[in-house]
Structure 1
Amino acid sequence: RLELINFIIQRLDITDLTVRLVDGPNRCSGRVEVYQDGSWGTVCDDNWALLDAQVVCRELSCGPATEAPHQAHFGEGSGSILLDDVACMGSEGSLLECSSGGIGNHDCGHDEDASVTCMMDGISRVRLVNGPNNCSGRVEVFHSGQWGTVCDDDWDLLDAKVVCRALGCGVALEAPDQAHFGQGRGEIWLKDVQCSGNEGSLLGCSSDGLGSHNCGHSEDAAAICEGQSVRLVDGPNRCSGRVEVYQDGSWGTVCDDNWAVLDAQVVCRELSCGPATEAPHQAHFGEGSGSILLDDVACMGSEGSLLECSSGGIGNHDCGHDEDASVTCMMEL
């Protein structure tokens, strides 16, 4: 069945599902990968520029591009390098419509993998920087074309919870103050942030208003999150694939026992991929490897993360990878 899916994918219009951003802090920032002939590959950063990133961000409905980083900024990919010398005008509907050296033609290594950061409302307007990973660091907010910090007055775990969830980084563990991850520079955009914990974005929380503060950067707020807790892999796009969850430093799969659309709904929402359309069983997108971390998942559908759903407990299962659960979401591209 996977072969049939790939056969269909290769004949779809190239604007449907040809690009994704991976290993970044959220679905709108990361290493650029394109889909061709049944597999994902990276893009070389030769001549990579903001106009190229603009096309990627628009293709993913992620708003304007803010950065076009070089040199494997979000880590090196693996497998094929599919594009080099990309030269977009900025108006193309897909990265594969841009001028390039042709699919598979390159003189690069993965240390030259291209990346993109987009400014999607509610997601990429917040980031964590200067920490040990993309899910821990100084909190920064994007406004008026630049990143600025958040003052730690009244900063607490509820505020950090909103940041962690918006970035797909799971549960908030700590809400450090006093520039725990170093002092930022430039603007301080928020002060006296007061979140209930249920907001979709830090900018949806109560505050003194953008730019209103009496703080210095010695008071920059930070967040430490558990880490990105779910991803979809080996599917035709970033919103369809085998479900994997992150625990104790590694990714593992989910058993399809009792796997249903309500469970898939939680995954799709957690990844900002719209409603769930399918919850396939039996390793629909191929078998994973390593640990099977969840079994007998039973979500109500309203949870903020798959790890909040009822299950048999982390690592408890009676499955093989031929039972790996999958998800297909209906993201509007």
Structure 2
Amino acid sequence: MGCRNTVLCSGGAEIVGRKRNLREYRQTTGCNQCCNSDNCNNRLCNATTPSTPLPTTSPNQVTYVRLVGGRNAYEGRVEVFHNNVWGTICDDGWSGKEAYVICNMLGYSSHGVGATKGTLFGGAPPLARIWMDEVNCTTGDETNIDQCQYNGWGVHDCSHGEDAGVICNPASSEDNIIFLVDNGILVRMDLNTHNFVPIPISDIHRPVAMDYDPTEGRIYFLDYTLKQIDNVHYSGIDVRELKQMDDNADLERIAVDPTNRILFFTDRGNDIIGSINLDGTGYKVVINTNLDEPRDIVVDPRNRNIYWTDWGSSPKIEKSSYDGSNRQTIVGSALKWPNGIALDFDENRLYFTDGGVNEISSVQLDGSNRKLIHSDPNTQFFALSIYKQYLYYTDWTTSTVMRVNKDGTGNTAIGPRSFRKLLDIRVHKYGYGLPGLTTSSPIVVDQGHIFVRLVGRGGHNEGTVQVYINGEWGAICDDSWDSKDAGVVCNMLGYPRANSVAVAESKYGTDQSVLIFLDDVNCTGSEDHIASCTRPENWGVHNCRHNEDAGVRCNFQADQLKDFILSADSLSHELYRMDVETGSYSAIPQLQLRNPIAVDYDPIQHKMYYTDVGLHVIKSTNLDGTAETFIKNLTISSIPDGMNLDVTNRLIFYSDAGSDIIAKMSMDGSNEQTIVNSNLDQPRAIALDETNRIVYWTDWGSNPKIERANYDGTSRSVIADSNLKFPKRPSV
């Protein structure tokens, strides 16, 4: 099914004169939604070209772009670097072709991108520049946004409520990247164009150093504030703690060996070099003697050696085997503040920076044949990385990435001068640098981060199918969509494969704000994952519109569901059932739902019980959303924040932070008894020990604590009351 002639894209903004009506909701124009302007993938249509002359950019000035405000590394408000100042683009005329150019500049796939309008990713500050307006790219093949037509630099009639944004294809090849740490922020810069995107992770994390595992596509980083070794998927989702260090830790640098699945780090606070497997096991202290100020570290997976710099009273560069044996000093003179260190596998040389004498030098791996590469008295060299004939380095006296040839010639700044304090740098190119690396081709999609869900007007077991890839949800086109494809999706959701029904033409509704990820899916029906099914084109390539979104109707039998997790999302006002194995999920529809908090499951009756603090009730429902039943109507001041079931004894225990009580009742709501009603101050979560008939609860009050009592409220005692702030749900 192809495109049709349309005047205005579905999901696009209404045009009133030259200005559009601002909307508060998310609006995107996908590259394949409109035949007359936005079919970027297959070039099915030709847009007319306005006669406005093309503005030009000075030959010695490069226009850069970045994304700001997105939930992951593939989306955000577009900002343009011009005349050494960042500014936005007005969304007048903003469409898929312009988004195509931006995503291509960032190094992402040119297929299946989306253009967003309004303040989806937040408007820029009121005094920020608006550099471009009425941008019109003729084909989407332009290599830079400044090659497209626009009103002229700074010529616009817009506000920051009209800042343009993009959603790039999250199934892009993860290759040709310069990873940076800038003043506590992870950054992904394209190796060829030097445009970049901050990798958004929680604000609680402050990375100071990082390295990349290309096998699993994870960034390992040291968190200075939390004193942790953490890792995150390259998209910016799924942050995991690898190792919590002690209070004395002052974590400096990290080096990943993806071949042997191990990393090494330096800890200046404890004066150690440690190692830990990439799965979090096998923590060891490798070196803990005669270290003064250990700084940077690099690994040689071929020979299982580590090299590190030491800033101490006797500055030096040392090496040892992975287990700490065969330790030796390879550079021990003419050093002051040896900082960054990098290993050139092609030439078997170590390159290092010295921030004290402002030099970049190199030696053989045994320390011989020392050479001065580059010197500048007005610099403070810090981190270092190697790619082919280039040394990429950071200089704390500049606000950009620097590059110099290995022979010391061609020193130059690359990319925009817009960074605060570049603490680390890693150049990543598949097949380069690490001999014996098992992953020889770039990661495109990672099944461990691909999920499905059902949305729209259907019930729990039916709806429009959406696929989650690296932080973005997208639709499936219904071309060739059949029951075998539906069976794979239903199995991912925990339903039986048998009797799955494929539904076409957006029967359950559509979401114009998402991209279209898949088309012409061809499953045999036996696959465990939709990503394992064959398809004729890459992710994001299609010739569809959202009125062709695929859906499914799965065979619901409560006793045939695979293992699942039940959850309440008070932000989206939904209840969910998630498959344990795949992480895919479906909402459990309810007629009345305002602010669900606590959930539990009765496997005997196959019912879900939950509290709703907005409606002040405790309710039950079948897993498909039917038989919605009020178990307990509470007072308007009640806050039933915690609840737990004893299915053996057919009891419900709940906490009420409004009335400050712990109560129990039968599963049908009868025989209610208050078991604790004194010395409570915001009781919250509840857990049960059914065997010993003990109830545990948390209390968020002025003196946070965790308590326990018998089922009848006797033998009450405090089991924890120190170093607590907001104790969450206990588990027995």
Bin for the TM-score computed over the shorter chain: 0.3 to 0.5
TM-score, with structure 1 as normaliser: 0.42
Give the structure, 1 or 2, with the largest relative contact order (CA under 8 Å, sep 6 or more).
1
Higher strand share: 2
